[in-house]
Structure 1
Amino acid sequence: MALMDELKMRNFSIYGQWLGVLSIILGLALGIANIFHFNLLILFSIILLCSSLVLIFIEIPLLLRICPTSAKFDAFIKRFTTNYMRAAIYGVMSLVQWLSIIVDPSSLIAAAVVLALAAGCYALAGLKQQEFVGSTTLGGRGVAQMIV
């Protein structure tokens, strides 16, 4: 299934997954860019970088098979297989980045917005009782089976 076919399915979990990938890219870029502040914003930058690294393993399941990770980490990541759990983790990560405004308004707000949009998409998929569908482009069911 091609990317455009996936987007035409009108399943909000696909939209959430692609917004998640966008938030990974933004998180890594903005986390590195804002880490050079000499105030408490460094803490929020480090949290965003760590969040982005966790999201990589949540959104791209192929990496769990390729990268050597511990059993504890794998069990933690496998908790986020439902739409509601993904909405929850994205919501918490977004809230943390929104709290960075207290220290200093910065470009971390862009990451907070995209994380909130991804959380909203996953929550909508859960409310509409849509089954979680992973993108095959990102290593969903079909690609992950080919590796084994």
Structure 2
Amino acid sequence: MAFTDYIKISGFKADLQSRNFSIYGQWLGIFLVFISIALGITNLFHANAVIVFGILGIVQGVLLAFVEIPFLMKVFRVPDRFITFVQTLDSNLKRALFYAVYALIQFLSLICKSTSLIALAVLYTIDMVFYALATVLKQDFHKSNVVATVDVTDRPVDAQVRDAL
């Protein structure tokens, strides 16, 4: 098993040309993993309750990584209940609701102070709109052609994953 068995770079072009909003939502979600962690860390240096929302932003980023990049569940040991939870989010409507909750949490940070977390809340809202549009347009839930080739229910032996990396 090689790393290329899990990641197909040629699928990125197919994703952009698909006109499927759930794929666009997944790519924005992958981008949001990094933005959530970065903005969460930068908001840890406030001297008020915004610190709580910064910590929540970091936690949201880590959880989002597992939701949007199923390959990570093969690399890290996670409980079966967590895998089941992530698999329940495999529909456009459930992902839209998931991102709506994430956006609401970050919009609540405005109660404490207006910070860069507003950008995170807006991006979560845009991602929610992508998944909601896919639901309204009755588009099938698709995962990216780049990162979705992994079935997390068929977990290999840990040594195989480490050998691939």
Tell me whether 1:49 sits opposite 2:32 in the alignment.
no
Q: Give, in angstroms, the shift of residue 133 of structure 1.
A: 1.0
User: Are 2:116 and 1:107 aligned?
Assistant: yes
Aligned to 1:45, what secondary structure does the other structure show?
helix
- TM alignment of 1:78-89, pairs within 5 A: 78-89=87-98
The corresponding residue for 1:97 is 106
Give the distance between the partners of 1:63 and 1:14, measured in 2 at CA. Answer: 18
Show the 5 A alignment for 1:1-148.
1-137=10-146, 139-140=147-148, 142-144=149-151, 148=156
Deviation at residue 84 of structure 1 after TM alignment: 0.6
Structure 1 residue 53, shift from structure 2 partner: 0.8
Q: State the alpha-carbon separation in 2 of the partners of residues 53 and 147 from structure 1.
A: 20
**CA distances 1:38-82 after superposition (whole Å, capped 9, x unpaired):** 100011111111111111000001111221011121112111110
Larger Rg: 2
Distance 1:63 1:46 in 2: 21
What is the SS of the residue equivalent to 1:136? coil
Aligned-CA RMSD value: 1.7
Say if 1:136 and 1:143, in contact at 8 Å, map to a contact too.
Answer: no
Q: Larger helix proportion, structure 1 or 2?
A: 1
**Match of 2:57, as an amino acid?**
L
Q: Deviation at 1:2?
A: 2.5
Question: In 2, distance between residues paired with 1:131 and 1:64?
Answer: 23
After TM superposition, the score normalised by the length of structure 1 is 0.92
Question: In the alignment, is the contact (CA less than 8 A) between 1:93 and 1:112 conserved in 2?
Answer: yes
Is this contact kept in 1: 2:11–2:144, CA < 8 A?
A: no
Separation in 2, partners of 1:92, 1:144: 26
Runs of 4+ off more than 3 Å: 143-148
Residue 144 of structure 1, CA deviation:
4.5
